[in-house]
A = this chain, B = another copy of it.
Amino acid sequence: MKFKTENAIVLVSGGMDSALTAALANKNYTLSFLHVNYGQRTEKRELIAFNDIAKYYNVKKKLVVNINYLSHIGGSALTDRKLKVEKANLESKKIPTSYVPFRNANILSIAVSWAEVIKAKRIFIGAVEEDSSGYPDCRKEFFDAYNKMISKGTKPNSKIKIETPIINLLKKDIVLKSLKLKSPIHLTWSCYKENKVACGECDSCGLRLRGFQKAGINDVIPYKKILNYN
Q: Which of B65, B103, B142 contacts A152 (CB 8 A)?
A: B142
In the complex, chain B residues whose CB is within 8 Å of the CB of A116: 75, 101-102
Interface string of A40-73 (1 = CB under 8 A from B): 0000000000000000000000010111011011
In the complex, chain B residues whose CB is within 8 Å of the CB of A180: none
In the complex, chain A residues 95-109 whose Cβ is within 8 Å of any chain B Cβ: 95, 99-106, 108-109
In the complex, chain B residues whose CB is within 8 Å of the CB of A154: 101-102, 136-137
A112 and B105 in contact, given A145-B149, A149-B148, A155-B136 (Cβ under 8 angstroms) = yes
B149 touches A153 (CB 8 A): no
In the complex, chain B residues whose CB is within 8 Å of the CB of A70: 113
How far is A153 from B127 in the complex, measured between Cα atoms in Å? Answer: 13
In the complex formed, the residue of B with least CB distance to A140 is: B152
In the complex, chain B residues whose CB is within 8 Å of the CB of A159: none
A-side interface mostly: helix
How far is A22 from B63 in the complex, measured between Cα atoms in Å? Answer: 35
A109 touches B105 (CB 8 A): yes
Q: Confirm or deny: A146 has a beta carbon within 8 angstroms of a beta carbon on chain B.
A: yes
Q: Would you mind naming 13 contact pairs between A and B with Cβ atoms under 8 Å apart?
A: A65-B69, A65-B72, A73-B113, A73-B114, A74-B117, A99-B155, A101-B116, A101-B155, A103-B113, A104-B153, A105-B112, A105-B150, A144-B152
